Structure 1
Amino acid sequence: MVYLQTDSKVSKMEDAQDKDILESSVEFTGQHAAEGRSGGWLAGNFLLVNQGLATLAFFGVNVNLVLFLTRVLQQSNAVAANNVSKWTGALNIFSLVGAFLSDSYWGGYKTCVVFQAVFVFGLTVLSLTSHLFLIKPSGCGDQWTPCGSHTNLEVRLFYFVIYMVALGNGGYQPTVASFGADQFDEDDPKEAHSKDTFFLYFYLALNLGSLLSNTCLSYFEDRGMWAWGFWASTVSAFVALLIFVGATPTYRHRKPGGNTLSRFCQVVVAASRKWRVGMPPGAADLYEEDGKELQVAGGRRRILHTEGLGFLDRAAVVDSDDFTFQAQSTHRKLWRLCTITQVEEVKCVLRLLPIWLCTILYSVVFTQMASLFVVQGAAMRRTVGGVTIPPSIMSAFDILSVVAFIFFYKRLLQPLVCRVRKNTTGLTELQRMGIGLIIAALAMVSAGVVEHFRLKLRCRGCTDASSLHIMWQVPQYVLVGASEVFMYVSQLQFFNGQTPDGLKSFGSALYMTSIAFGNFFSDFIVTIVMKITGKGGRPGWIPANLNDGHLDRFYFLLAALSCADLVAYVVCAMSYKCIKMEGRREKATSGFHV
């Protein structure tokens, strides 16, 4: 392996790493992070509380946005649903913006503060706009009192504000997840275990915040008290921001690594320029620099060479034209010669993409909980103790299932698997994601069976009525919740662990973009299914009156697609090559394969 010698010796950097947690992590004072002074659960607990409050604030807007559009802005169900899908998709795409700024320039702390401030400002303006311009006459927007018409300026102001809320929350979410992971040193066995636990509790905090929002804030908003609900979200987001900023001295900060896009482009351009260059055997003659360059670029650790995607290795082949000589110094031409670490960064991302693509169909299943599950519940008998419950309240069983299965996995399943396998890791992330896909398919089968019997007990000549009770939906909600624990929590752990030091927020953003594309792909599947099954004047599988359709067949179709996706996922997971960080090769190459 070819090294460029600089004034900083590798041995000195390694000695420094013995004293400090990571060369790339610093404390608020600028000192290298050390165990006991910062990070760990002291910082992690503050971030979990912050996440719960921020989630409560976000879902105070998200959970009833479609009702606000129909009741207050007087949009049709179809138009409102389409606008909510676009808004949700944009929110998850905004996660890439936050991830890029965090990884490249700002770092996790600054990115979290800026986007949380945007989030709070957006909620404040939304509350004011709703109170002053949209909720007219006062008290409108409930089930019985429609609101008046609005000017184009008022509507445009509303959309500007909710997209500001989406930008704030979308840019913050992947960054706070990776920033929380940065509080734990993955090379320390004890802290590495705490890091995995942090992701479980992070998703738990998200669901608890959602539960409070779905119950408390939804109550106010469903009864037309929209401004009160939005103000409650604003206060929750503001308190979350105060907690985050107040805990500043406890955090470990990872230095940003510079423009990630330019590093990627340099590898592609350099490899393309050398497409005729002969490749040396192995990695012995490929170019790598000593520790100083990586320290300057955010303290990133070296990534060891891996086989596969050999075309990119050409970017690290040394050529006589790769350097410029000025006075007594030598400078590398960045667009002609790249380090092995740069090349491996590109390889890591390319190898993650097949796994990421396989998670999109799971997100299609997940989105049904907020759409077709609710429509199905509305067409069932919903009387409990003499009170008619809204079908959306059934999502509480999903949240309770998430909470239960997190503790089930943490306290029972993981220790049992560790004891059987005689190791300390238990199920790997890829294995847990595969289990999540299996449970998701079972959830669709359960939903299809319930719909089959709902149609058998439908009221002839009635509109969306059946004598089957809504509580028969509980198993499908519980199964979706269980699948989330295995799929989404493992996604966060896997993408964070398998991305290089300079791309941790990008790894978390992959989880959110999977949900975004799941929303888009779900709309696409529904459109195609209705176009095919609705030919010749037939009502199709998902008509306005479910009693005339076959929603059960659609659920079984999703179950079949999930099984096919599982097969593709297993193939991708079996061929996946893990990242190999310098100093922990054995850990990096074991424990991830299915």
Structure 2
Amino acid sequence: MESNKRQKDVEEKNHSQHIAIEETNDVFIKHSKRGGWATMPFILGSISTLTLAAGGWTGNLIVYLITKYNIKSIDATQVFNVVFGCMYLFPIAGAILSDSFFGLFAVIAGFSLVSLLGVTLMTLTSILLSLRPPTCTNMLLPCESPSTLQYGVLYAILGLACMGIGGTRFTVATMGADQFEDSNSVGTYFNWYFFVYYVAGFISTTVIIYVQDNVSWTVGFGICVVCNTFGVILFLSGKNFYRKIKLKGSPFTSIARVIVAAVRKRNVHSTNMQYNYDANDKSTIVPSDRFRYLNHGALKIESDGSKERSWSLSTVQEVEDLKTLIKIVPLWSSSVLLSATIGMFNNFTILQALSMDRHLGGSQFKIPASSFLSLDVLATSITIFLLNRVIFPTWQKITSRPLTPLQRIGMGHVLNVVGLVVSALVEIQRLHSASDHNLIGLSMATTTIVPFSALWLLLPLTIVGISQAFIFPGQILLYYQEFPASLRSTSSAMISLLVAVGFYLSTAITSLMRNKTTWLKDNLNDGRLDIAYWVLAATGVVNFGYFFVCAKMFEHKHVKQDKNMDNISSS
């Protein structure tokens, strides 16, 4: 009798504890000794090795296409833009798949394997001569272009590789943050995440690219395969340590639901109608008058029956969330052209480096052309550290108020224009050197190397790197502050989409310049890349004016800034 009573008491206690856990947080699927810092060796280890693999093949892609596939220099930058656009567009699909269907663990595991397949196949292109056109030996004659089959195989491989990167880059960051329940730990985690990410990116764009240029492409790509393999193994090894998260549905679904519901009820009048409120959130008393048409999506009518949320009925909170998203779109759009100019700057810088003297001093050491972009990453990292630790605190002491996200983004716009102007000046000097050495008008298929030091490129690279330290962290903080809680995860997707659209736009602008002007030539010595830079700088000035107008008209949400998120955005 006593044992039965004791057993009953234990069961009731366990049941009450289970209920308490569910009431505390209904998002996490609780497991003892899961989550927390014990998962970080697996999370940070996998993101570092996956980033090494990704940076190893993407960072030198333009040079690989030019030297091994005989693709003309401008065409190579166009392919590069499309690949990078895909890499930054696909995280949105990855977020939808993980939030709505499969969960983060399954999506990351699946796409890391896709990435491994793509990188492995790319390594084969450096081994099997049948997958590439013959090596171009006579620079005075046009080189043989890849066949249709070779192009098809190349694009399929690039598609697999960039899908793998796009499906893991941001989802790993989200999964790592989900392992913690307190904001302090999340802030510390993101500090470590960005530190590891930048360090791995710097190593891949220096060490691995050096191996590709000076040892062999096969060895360089082989290192990427090994790194990707270790990344997959490390991530899967932590399966029993990860805290699992309940599928919460994609925020994009609720956005689509509001639009569909509003269209279906477009002819319904709102007089004396009831609105559908979220049972868990009564913060919105009545729908706002802004974008009133969308309020129809939350109107209750008899045909809705008892459904509180369907494709014919949304909640007021979902309607207001969509309005917030629409409100921020103009500011978001002002950074699309900015992202495009950064993408074109990176591509043109590699082409300039290929046409300049890349020896370090009087030594025989030759800096790989693609490795110059590592200074961009290094400048961004150092500037973020100085801004967070020195400049921003000093500014706040002097002015008694912090630098706002919009002010940071605006400063980034200005510095980006300065960087483009300096690039134009460097290119003018390079062309003068080419003219002095009679290297213009030689009818060469590729650019002849000009005896002008490529170290001059470090100046515009540093300026543009500093500008990015203002732009992207400022955008992360702005979106986090202004987005409603239900769409917080969408903020990273907005930045990813921004970069993707920017790269696709840079492809269009490059094609326009190439078809309508004589500025962009495969032989840079016969073109006027400096004019292209001046046009981009002028466009940046106009775009800054558009940003300024959008910033002035933007209505901020009155929220208290989270100090931990300020640290995250500055990481």
TM-score (norm 1): 0.77
Q: Do the aligned partners of residues 483 and 72 (structure 1) sit closer, same or farther apart at CA in structure 2, a change above 3 Å counting?
A: same
Partners of 1:503 and 1:103 in 2: CA distance: 12
Partners of 2:123 and 2:386 in 1: CA distance: 40
Offset of 1:98 from its aligned partner? 0.7
Query: Are the equivalent residues in 2 in contact too, given 1:142–1:223 (CA < 8 A)?
Result: no
Report the AA paired with residue 350 of structure 2: V
Structure 2 residue 162 is the aligned partner of structure 1 residue 162: no
**Equivalent in the alignment of 1:404:** 382
User: Structure 1 unaligned runs (5+)?
Assistant: 1-11, 292-300, 324-329, 535-539
Partners of 2:153 and 2:132 in 1: CA distance: 16
1:529-569 CA distances to partner (integer Å, 9 max, x unpaired)? 3444x3xxxxx333344444433332222222222222222
Q: Do the aligned partners of residues 391 and 71 (structure 1) sit closer, same or farther apart at CA in structure 2, a change above 3 Å counting?
A: closer
Offset of 1:58 from its aligned partner? 0.7
**Equivalent in the alignment of 1:9:** none
Identical-pair percentage: 26
Query: Are the equivalent residues in 2 in contact too, given 1:142–1:222 (CA < 8 A)?
Result: no
Report the AA paired with residue 267 of structure 1: V
Partners of 2:539 and 2:200 in 1: CA distance: 32
Report the AA paired with residue 467 of structure 2: S
**Equivalent in the alignment of 1:336:** 312
Partners of 2:453 and 2:278 in 1: CA distance: 67
1:89-115 CA distances to partner (integer Å, 9 max, x unpaired)? 222222221121123222333322221
Partners of 1:432 and 1:37 in 2: CA distance: 38
3-state secondary structure, aligned to 1:371: helix
Partners of 1:496 and 1:143 in 2: CA distance: 53
3-state secondary structure, aligned to 2:168: helix
Query: Are the equivalent residues in 2 in contact too, given 1:439–1:479 (CA < 8 A)?
Result: yes
Partners of 1:497 and 1:38 in 2: CA distance: 27
Partners of 2:129 and 2:352 in 1: CA distance: 35
More helix by share: 2
Partners of 2:521 and 2:325 in 1: CA distance: 41
Structure 2 residue 290 is the aligned partner of structure 1 residue 290: no
**Equivalent in the alignment of 2:295:** 313
1:133-532 pair list within 5 angstroms: 134=130, 156-183=152-179, 190-191=184-185, 195=187, 198-199=189-190, 201-223=192-214, 225-248=216-239, 251-258=242-249, 260-279=251-270, 286-291=275-280, 304=284, 308-323=290-305, 330-332=306-308, 334-383=310-359, 384-387=361-364, 388-420=366-398, 422=400, 426-460=402-436, 461-463=438-440, 468-495=452-479, 498-500=482-484, 503-532=487-516
Partners of 1:554 and 1:46 in 2: CA distance: 45
Larger deviation: 121-130 or 356-365?
A: 121-130
1:69-98 CA distances to partner (integer Å, 9 max, x unpaired)? 344344444444433333222222222211
1:53-72 pair list within 5 angstroms: 53-72=49-68
Larger deviation: 165-174 or 449-458?
A: 449-458
1:348-372 CA distances to partner (integer Å, 9 max, x unpaired)? 3323322221221221222134321
Q: Do the aligned partners of residues 127 and 379 (structure 1) sit closer, same or farther apart at CA in structure 2, a change above 3 Å counting?
A: closer
Q: Do the aligned partners of residues 455 and 159 (structure 1) sit closer, same or farther apart at CA in structure 2, a change above 3 Å counting?
A: closer
Q: Do the aligned partners of residues 108 and 506 (structure 1) sit closer, same or farther apart at CA in structure 2, a change above 3 Å counting?
A: farther
Offset of 1:26 from its aligned partner? 4.1
**Equivalent in the alignment of 1:326:** none
3-state secondary structure, aligned to 2:103: helix
Offset of 1:54 from its aligned partner? 1.1
Report the AA paired with residue 393 of structure 1: S
Q: Alignment partner for residue 541 of structure 1, among 512, 515, 519?
A: 519
User: Structure 2 unaligned runs (5+)?
Assistant: 1-15, 441-447, 567-571
Partners of 1:429 and 1:258 in 2: CA distance: 29
Query: Are the equivalent residues in 2 in contact too, given 1:100–1:506 (CA < 8 A)?
Result: no
1:373-408 CA distances to partner (integer Å, 9 max, x unpaired)? 122334444442233544433223212212211221
Query: Are the equivalent residues in 2 in contact too, given 1:183–1:251 (CA < 8 A)?
Result: yes
Instruction: Give the superposed CA RMSD.
Output: 3.9
**Equivalent in the alignment of 2:11:** none
Q: Alignment partner for residue 537 of structure 2, among 559, 570, 576?
A: 559
3-state secondary structure, aligned to 1:258: coil
Partners of 1:247 and 1:578 in 2: CA distance: 41
1:394-448 CA distances to partner (integer Å, 9 max, x unpaired)? 223212212211221222123324434557xx43433322222222111112212
Report the AA paired with residue 413 of structure 2: L
3-state secondary structure, aligned to 2:314: coil
Partners of 1:363 and 1:143 in 2: CA distance: 37
Offset of 1:238 from its aligned partner? 2.1
Partners of 1:141 and 1:223 in 2: CA distance: 17
Partners of 2:408 and 2:50 in 1: CA distance: 27
1:463-490 CA distances to partner (integer Å, 9 max, x unpaired)? 4565643222212111111122222233
Q: Do the aligned partners of residues 73 and 180 (structure 1) sit closer, same or farther apart at CA in structure 2, a change above 3 Å counting?
A: same
**Equivalent in the alignment of 1:570:** 548
Query: Are the equivalent residues in 2 in contact too, given 1:322–1:333 (CA < 8 A)?
Result: no
1:511-538 CA distances to partner (integer Å, 9 max, x unpaired)? 2222222222223223333444x3xxxx
Offset of 1:505 from its aligned partner? 4.8
Partners of 1:199 and 1:429 in 2: CA distance: 19
Partners of 2:153 and 2:322 in 1: CA distance: 41
Partners of 1:548 and 1:170 in 2: CA distance: 37
Partners of 1:390 and 1:38 in 2: CA distance: 41
TM-score (norm 2): 0.80
Partners of 2:531 and 2:147 in 1: CA distance: 43
Q: Do the aligned partners of residues 70 and 566 (structure 1) sit closer, same or farther apart at CA in structure 2, a change above 3 Å counting?
A: closer
Partners of 2:41 and 2:481 in 1: CA distance: 21
Query: Are the equivalent residues in 2 in contact too, given 1:358–1:565 (CA < 8 A)?
Result: yes
Report the AA paired with residue 226 of structure 1: W
The count of residues paired between Structure 1 and Structure 2 equals 533
Query: Are the equivalent residues in 1 in contact too, given 2:341–2:536 (CA < 8 A)?
Result: yes
Offset of 1:67 from its aligned partner? 3.3
Larger deviation: 66-75 or 516-525?
A: 66-75
**Equivalent in the alignment of 2:4:** none
Q: Do the aligned partners of residues 233 and 494 (structure 1) sit closer, same or farther apart at CA in structure 2, a change above 3 Å counting?
A: farther
Offset of 1:120 from its aligned partner? 2.0
Offset of 1:253 from its aligned partner? 4.6
3-state secondary structure, aligned to 2:275: coil
Partners of 1:513 and 1:377 in 2: CA distance: 29
3-state secondary structure, aligned to 1:336: coil
Partners of 1:160 and 1:544 in 2: CA distance: 25
Q: Do the aligned partners of residues 420 and 278 (structure 1) sit closer, same or farther apart at CA in structure 2, a change above 3 Å counting?
A: farther
**Equivalent in the alignment of 1:88:** 84
Partners of 2:553 and 2:204 in 1: CA distance: 42
3-state secondary structure, aligned to 2:319: helix
Query: Are the equivalent residues in 2 in contact too, given 1:439–1:482 (CA < 8 A)?
Result: yes
Q: Do the aligned partners of residues 456 and 222 (structure 1) sit closer, same or farther apart at CA in structure 2, a change above 3 Å counting?
A: closer
Partners of 1:377 and 1:530 in 2: CA distance: 20
Larger deviation: 540-549 or 409-418?
A: 540-549
Query: Are the equivalent residues in 1 in contact too, given 2:345–2:420 (CA < 8 A)?
Result: no
Report the AA paired with residue 279 of structure 2: D
